[in-house]
Structure 1
Amino acid sequence: MKQKVSIFWYRRDLRLDDNAGLYYALRSTYPVLPLFIFDREILDKLDNKHDTRVDFIHKTVSEIHQQLAKLGSTIIVKYGKPLEVWESLLSTFEITEVYTNHDYEKYSIDRDERVCELLNAKGIGFYTYKDQVIFEKNEVLSGSKTPYTVFTPYSKKWKEQLNDFYIKSYPTETYFKNFLQTASLPIPTLEEMGFFETGMEFPEKLIDENVIGRYNELRNIPSISGTTRLSVHLRFGTISIRKLVQKAIKLNQTWLNELIWRDFYMNILYHFPHINNAEAFRREYDEIVWRNNEEEFQAWCNGKTGYPIVDAGMRELNETGFMHNRVRMITASFLVKHLLIDWRWGEAYFAEKLLDYDFAANNGGWQWAAGSGCDAAPYFRIFNPTAQTQKFDPDLKYIKKWVPEISDFDYPEPIVEHTFARERVLKAYKKALDKK
C-alpha cells in the first residue's frame, strides 16, 4: 500500500526557511515530500549547455537535498516536462494535496493551470501561495481601483499599506518534523541532463548590513562593491523577500525602493500581460522603425563599440553573468538610442546572459531605457556615455578592469558619434510617435 503524502513543489523559492507554501504544506495532515522539476520545456530551448543559471539551480537543489537528508527526509528531483512528471508521480505515490507558491509569468501560469486540472481530476487539491513578493495582483491599487503604471505613487501606496503582517516570516522550522521520513533519493547530475558545471563563483547569500547602510551613497559607482549582489538569490528564492524588507526598513530607504521596484514590475506583468508577447507597454512605440544593424549589434554584444563604459559593462556581463545596475542603464540606452536597435534584441541578450535574469524586471528595465515602458524616461532623454563615465567612473577604475586596452592603438574608434546618434534617434522616435 502506498504511503499518503503531501507534495511541496519547489520553483522560484529554493529554501527551507520562511517559505509560505512550504509552511502550509508542513502544517497539512500528511507527511511532506518536496519536489523539484528541471523543466525540459525551458531547458530544451537553451543552446548554451554551460548555462550558469542551470548550474546555480543544480547546486542550490543539491544543498536542499543535503539539508533534508540531515532531517531524515529527501527531495524528489526530476528532469522532464512537468505534466509528464506529475503523471508519473501519481502512479508512484498516493498524493493527497500539492502545495506551491505563485508564479507570475505567462508560461508558469499556463503550466500551473494544466497541472491543477490534472490533479483536480484525481481529487487532489492544488494550493498556491504568495511568496516571492510583498504585494501582488490587486493588493496595491489606486484610489479608483486601477493598477498603478507609475512607480512613485505605487511605492507611496505600497509603503502606506505595509505592516508587520506582510513581512512576518513563516516559521517553517517549527514543523520540520513533518517532512516525510525516508531514505535519501538520488538526484540527476548536470551531465545526465545534458549540461555542465561552469566553474562560476556565485555571489554569497549574505545580507551585508554595511553595504545596505551605505547603498544610497555607493550604488552608482561600478568600480566598488556598493551593491548587495543578492539579485540572483531573490530571483531563485534562495533568500526570503520578507527578510530583506525587514532589513531595508531598518537600514536604508533607497534600498527598500529597489525591492519595491521588483513588486512594481511583477504588478505590471500581472495587469498588462501583452508585454509577454514582445509588445511595447505603450503600444505606439511599436511604430518605431529600427535600424537593427547586425554588425553593430555584435559589436555591442562583444564590448567593442569604442565607448569604454559600454564595452566594460558588456564584457563584465559576458564574463560574470552580472552587470552593475548603473551600467545596465548605460548599455541599454546606448543600444536603443545610439544604435537605434530594437530594445527586444537587447532584452533577449540580457535574458541569455544574466545570472539574475527575471522577465518582469528585465522587460521593465529595457522598456524604461527605450522610453516605451511604464514610468519611462521621456524618449528624448538619452544617456551620454562620456558624461556618465565622468560622473560615475571618473578615475576609469571600472573601465580599466574590463577594457585594459583602452589606451592602445587597436581599441576601436567610437562606432557612432554621440551628437549624430542623438539627432538620428530623436527623428526616428518623433516620426513614429507623430502617427498617434
Structure 2
Amino acid sequence: MTSPDTKPTVFIWFRNDLRVTDNQALSAACEHAKTVNANIQAVYIVTPAQWQAHDVGSRQLDFIRRHLQLVARALASLGIELTVWQCQHFADIPALWQRQLSSRNIVAIYAGREPELNEIRRDQAMLNHGLPLQLTNEHCLLAPGSVLTKSGEMYRVFTPFFRRWREIAQQYPVVPLGPPAPVGPAIADVNIESLLDTINRYFLPLIKSDNHYQWPAGEGEAQRRLQHFVFTAVSDYQQQRDFPALDGTSSLSPYLTLGVLSPRQCFAALLARFPAALADDTSPVRCWLSELVWREFYRHLLVAFSALSMGGNFNPLADGIVWRNHPQEFSAWCEGRTGYPIVDAAMRQLNNTGWMHNRLRMVVASFLSKHLLIDWRWGERYFRQQLLDGDLAANNGGWQWSAGTGCDAQPWFRIFNPISQSEKFDADGSFIRHWLPELRHWPLAQLHQPVPEKSLFTGDYPAPIVEHSSARQRALSALAVLKKA
C-alpha cells in the first residue's frame, strides 16, 4: 500500500474560476486523482503586490474573499481541502510551487487558462521550470485562437467574428459539467472555520472598511440571476438595456469576471430556452447573445495582441493624440462633479456600488476621453480600481471603443452629447434624481442640462467644467490624427 507521505497528489489551483460546477480544471483534477489513486488538494494563491500593480479594487478583493470562503465550504463537502498561500508577485509563484514539489509527490497541477499577458507569462514560467501544470480553456466558450479569418488571422471587426463564432459554436454541444463526485468524507466544520479565518487574515488588510454596498455572493445567487434573466427578461433586453433606471440588464458581469459563473453556463441556459438562438438572426435574444460574444471577442483580442495588456492603443495612429490630461478635471469626473447630471449620477453609482450601467459606461468614457481630452488609460485605471466586475479585456475594450482608439471602435468623430443621451435614456430623470438627491427639486426641463451660472434652484451643484459645443470642436481637432489616409 502506498504510504501517505509518498502517495501522489493532484492539485487544483483556483484563480478566476471560483466555482465547483462546470469547472473543467476541477473535474479534470478529480478524474486524474482517481485514475492514479492520488490525493487531491485545492489551493488559492494571494498576490497582494501583483493585485496592486493590476489596480484590483477593494470591492473586488472583498468579492473574491467572500466567494473563496464559499468555494472552501463547497469543496469541503466534496472531501477536498482548500489551502491558501501568499506571495507578492506572479514572478514568485514558480519558486513557491517548487518548494511544494520538493516536499510532496505532486504529479499534476490543474488550472484554468487566463488571457492577460502577465498571467500567460506566469503560466509559461511554471512550465519553463518543469512544473506539471495542466491548463484548461474555459474563460471563453471558444478558446482564443479558434475563431480566425480564412487567412488564419484574428478578426479586427466584430461582425464577421460574431458570424464565424456562431458557425463554430453550432458544431459542438454546449453542456455544462456538474460538480464532481465527492472524493472522500466531508471535512469537519472546525477545520473549515480555521480556513475561513486564514482567508480573512490574508484579505481583510487589503480591503477598505468603507465598502458598505455588498453585491450578493455565491454560485447559487449567480445561477438564480441567470435563470431569472433568461426566463423573464432576455427577450426584452434589446428594448430595455439602454435605460439605467430600469432593471433591464442581466447583472451577471461580476460573477463572470471571477468565474463564479462560466460562459458555457450562460450560453447553455440561453440555448435551453431558445434553441435556435445561434442560428436565427431574427431571434429575440440575439442582442444578448451578441453581448456575450463581445466578451469573447475582447478576450480573443487580448491574447492575439499582447500590447493591449500593457496599455497600448490598438490603433497606432492614436499614439499621435495630444491629450490635455487636466488633473483637476479628472478629479471632478471621478467624483461626479462635472456639472453634467447624467455623467455625475453615473459616477456616483460607480463610486457607491462598484457597478455602472453599460450605457452610462459609454457616456462617461466618451465624456472623459473626448469632452475633456483626458487619456482613456486614466479612466480605464479608475474603473479598474472601482468596478466589482473589473476585467482587463472588457475594460480595455470598452474604453478603447469609446475613445475611438480600439478595435472596431466608435468612430473618432462620433462624440456622445451627454445632454441628448440623458434626455433619451433617462427621460423622466428618475436615475439622475436617485443618485443626485440634491437635484430632486430641479424641474425636469432643466434636469438634463448643465447650468452655466448659479440660479435659484442650482444650490451647491457645480457649474459645468466644459461647454459641449466647444469641447466637441476641440476633440474633433485633437482626434483628427485618427483619420484614415
**TM-score, normalised relative to structure 1:** 0.93
Instruction: Give the C-alpha shift of residue 101 in structure 1.
Output: 1.0
Cα deviation for residue 192 of structure 1 reads: 4.1
Shift of 1:44: 4.8
How far apart are the structure 2 equivalents of 1:178 and 1:199? Answer: 39
* Aligned pairs for 1:36-435 within 5 A: 36-45=44-53, 51-81=58-88, 82-118=93-129, 120=130, 125-163=132-170, 165=172, 167-173=174-180, 175-177=181-183, 186-187=195-196, 188-193=198-203, 194-196=205-207, 198-203=211-216, 204-205=221-222, 206-207=225-226, 208=228, 209-249=231-271, 250-251=273-274, 252-406=285-439, 407=442, 408-430=458-480, 432-433=481-482
Match of 2:11 in 1: 7
Equivalent position amino acid for 2:195 in 1? P
* RMSD, aligned α-carbons: 2.2
Q: Using the alignment, how far apart are the partners of 1:70 and 1:394 within structure 2?
A: 50
Secondary structure of the corresponding residue to residue 256 of structure 2 = helix
- Rounded Cα–Cα distance in structure 2 between residues aligned with 1:47 and 1:372: 22
Query: What CA distance in whole angstroms lies between the structure 2 residues aligned with 1:99 and 1:178?
Result: 19
Q: CA contact under 8 A between 1:155 and 1:260: conserved in structure 2? A: yes
Aligned length: 429
**1:92-129 Cα deviation digits (max 9, x unpaired):** 432111111111101101111122233x2xxx522101
Structure 1 contact 72–181 (Cα < 8 Å) conserved = yes
Partner of 1:21: 25
Q: CA deviation at 1:275?
A: 1.5
Deviations 1:100-159 (A, max 9, x none): 1111101101111122233x2xxx522101111011222111122211011111101111
Closer, same or farther: CA 239–179 of 1 in aligned 2, 3 Å: farther
- How far apart are the structure 2 equivalents of 1:191 and 1:172? 28
Residues 359-397 of structure 1: per-residue CA shift (max 9 Å, x gap): 011111010011110111110001001110111100001
Aligned CA distance change for structure 1 residues 356 and 16 (closer, same or farther; 3 Å): same
Moved more, 201-210 or 292-301: 201-210
Instruction: Give the match's secondary structure for 2:296.
Output: helix
Task: Tell me how far 1:33 sits from its aligned partner.
Answer: 1.1
Deviation at 1:212, TM superposition (A): 2.4
Judge conservation of contact 1:33–1:179 (CA < 8 Å) in 2: no
Residue 165 of structure 1, CA deviation: 2.8
Distance 1:47 1:149 in 2: 27
**Residue type of the partner of 1:26?**
C
CA distance in 2, matches of 1:191, 1:125: 30
Contact 2:77 2:182 in 1 (8 A): no
Give SS of 1:337's match. Answer: helix
Specify whether residues 46 and 101 from structure 1 end up closer, same or farther in structure 2 by C-alpha distance, changes over 3 A only: closer
1:192 & 1:241 partners in 2: Cα distance?
Answer: 29
**Partner Cα distance (1:378, 1:44) in 2:** 33
Contact map agreement 1:31 1:178 (CA 8 A) in 2: no
Q: Which moved more, 1:8-17 or 1:239-248?
A: 239-248
Return 181-190 or 298-307, whichever deviates more. 181-190
Deviation at 1:25, TM superposition (A): 1.0
Does the CA-based 8 Å contact 1:134-1:241 persist in structure 2? yes
SS state of the match for residue 307, structure 2? helix
Q: Using the alignment, how far apart are the partners of 2:212 and 2:437 within structure 1? A: 24
Where 1:6 maps in the other structure, the secondary structure is strand
Instruction: Provide Cα deviations, 1:260-283, integer angstroms capped at 9, x if missing partner.
Output: 011100111111111122211001
Q: Provide the secondary structure at the position in 1 that maps to 2:195.
A: coil
Would the aligned equivalents of 1:136 and 1:266 in 2 still touch at CA under 8 Å?
no
CA–CA distance in 2 between the matches of 1:264 and 1:17? 24
Given that residues 28 and 110 in structure 2 are in contact (C-alpha distance below 8 angstroms), is that contact kept between their aligned partners in structure 1?
yes
State the distance in 2 between where 1:315 and 1:179 align. Answer: 48
Distance 1:342 1:44 in 2: 21
Q: CA deviation at 1:87?
A: 3.2
Tell me, in whole angstroms, the C-alpha distance in 2 between the residues paired with 1:363 and 1:138. Answer: 19
The one-character-per-residue Cα deviations of 1:3-45 (angstroms, maximum 9, x if unpaired) are 3210011111111111111111111122321111112342354
- Kept after mapping to 1: 8 A contact 2:55/2:381: no
Range moving further from structure 2, 242-251 or 22-31: 242-251
The unaligned stretches of length 5 or more in structure 1 are none
Deviations 1:342-371 (A, max 9, x none): 111111111111110110111110100111
After superposition, the Cα gap between the structure-2 partners of 1:40 and 1:180, relative to the gap in structure 1 and judged at 3 Å, is farther
Amino acid at match of 1:200: Y
Greater shift after overlay, 243-252 or 179-188? Answer: 179-188
| Aligned 8 A contact 2:25 2:135 in 1 | yes
Distance, in Å, in 1 between the alignment partners of 2:14 and 2:411 is 40
CA distance in 1, matches of 2:70, 2:484: 55
Distance 1:192 1:162, change over 3 A: closer
Q: Where do 5+ consecutive residues of structure 2 fail to align?
A: 275-284, 443-457
Distance in 2, matches of 1:341 and 1:41, equals 27
The 1:18–1:223 alpha-carbon spacing in structure 2 relative to 1, beyond 3 Å, is: same
